[in-house]
Chains A and B, each alone.
Chain A
């Protein structure tokens, strides 16, 4: 059973970089696709981007210049960096894996505020 767990700061200042890590257990990160999805409070889901088993990435065009997703196979982790954040980036951030977003972390709330 694949399990995912997000970790990172819950508070980020405006204009700074949001950094989150997702640790994968019960499966290898060299399989599947690994995505980040976010959900602003009271709103819907927004796909941020993914990295695949070969290290190839693709991002939501809305974030393309600000987002980087990377993988650390030695730690079975993948990470999200979102730069130049504003209050509009306040959301619950989920990591997810599988070919169909089969597996989800519990989510972590990141608030952008000074």
Chain B
């Protein structure tokens, strides 16, 4: 299975909004509403931020939101804060009953 495609890096200033894309195929992202996003700070385990495309687990700030159009899912962070600087990974369920991750995006808060 091929990894989902994410930009290697994105950046934004505090208070701004950024969007990270995650592109797959009709066999994964486009075929199921089972896309998740994870935040990973250096040396730490990933943390679930969005599940089922648009849902936030309890405790995740409302400025994190998810969406999907066709084979591309997106994570938007509004009102960027310094603590948001981290790596972000998307994942999707696939038609092989497996999961696949994106390559990851490094977010820099300028």
A interface vs B, CB < 8 Å?
A: 35, 37, 44-47, 49-50, 58-62, 94, 98-102, 104-107
Tell me the number of A-to-B contacts counted with CB atoms below 8 Å. Answer: 56
A44 touching B3, Cβ below 8 Å: yes
Q: How long is the Cα–Cα vector from A53 to B1 in the complex, in angstroms? A: 24
Q: Which residues of B contact A98 (CB under 8 A)?
A: 48
Q: Which residues of B contact A100 (CB under 8 A)?
A: 34, 36, 48, 51-52
Q: Which residues of A contact B99 (CB under 8 A)?
A: 35, 47, 50, 101
B101 touching A46, Cβ below 8 Å: yes
Indicate whether B98 reaches chain A with its CB closer than 8 angstroms.
Answer: yes
Q: Which residues of A contact B61 (CB under 8 A)?
A: none
B98 touching A45, Cβ below 8 Å: no
Contacting residue for B36 out of A44, A59, A101, A105, CB 8 A:
A101
Q: Which residue of B lies closest to A102 (CB)?
A: B48
Q: Does more than half of chain A's interface fall in helix, strand or loop, or is it mixed?
A: loop
Indicate whether B41 reaches chain A with its CB closer than 8 angstroms.
Answer: no
B98 touching A58, Cβ below 8 Å: yes
Q: Which residues of B contact A47 (CB under 8 A)?
A: 91, 98-101
Indicate whether B96 reaches chain A with its CB closer than 8 angstroms.
Answer: yes
Indicate whether B46 reaches chain A with its CB closer than 8 angstroms.
Answer: yes
A44 touching B89, Cβ below 8 Å: yes
Q: Which residue of A lies closest to B51 (CB)?
A: A100
Indicate whether B31 reaches chain A with its CB closer than 8 angstroms.
Answer: no
Indicate whether B38 reaches chain A with its CB closer than 8 angstroms.
Answer: yes
A104 touching B101, Cβ below 8 Å: no
B95-109 interface (Cβ within 8 A of A): 96-104
Q: Which residues of B contact A60 (CB under 8 A)?
A: 1, 98
The minimal Cβ–Cβ distance linking B88 to chain A, given in whole angstroms, is 11
Q: Which residue of B lies closest to A56 (CB)?
A: B97
The minimal Cβ–Cβ distance linking B84 to chain A, given in whole angstroms, is 19
Contacting residue for B91 out of A99, A101, A102, CB 8 A:
A101
Q: Which residue of B lies closest to A59 (CB)?
A: B98
10 contacts between A and B (CB under 8 A): A37-B101, A45-B101, A47-B98, A49-B98, A58-B97, A59-B98, A94-B45, A101-B91, A102-B48, A104-B46
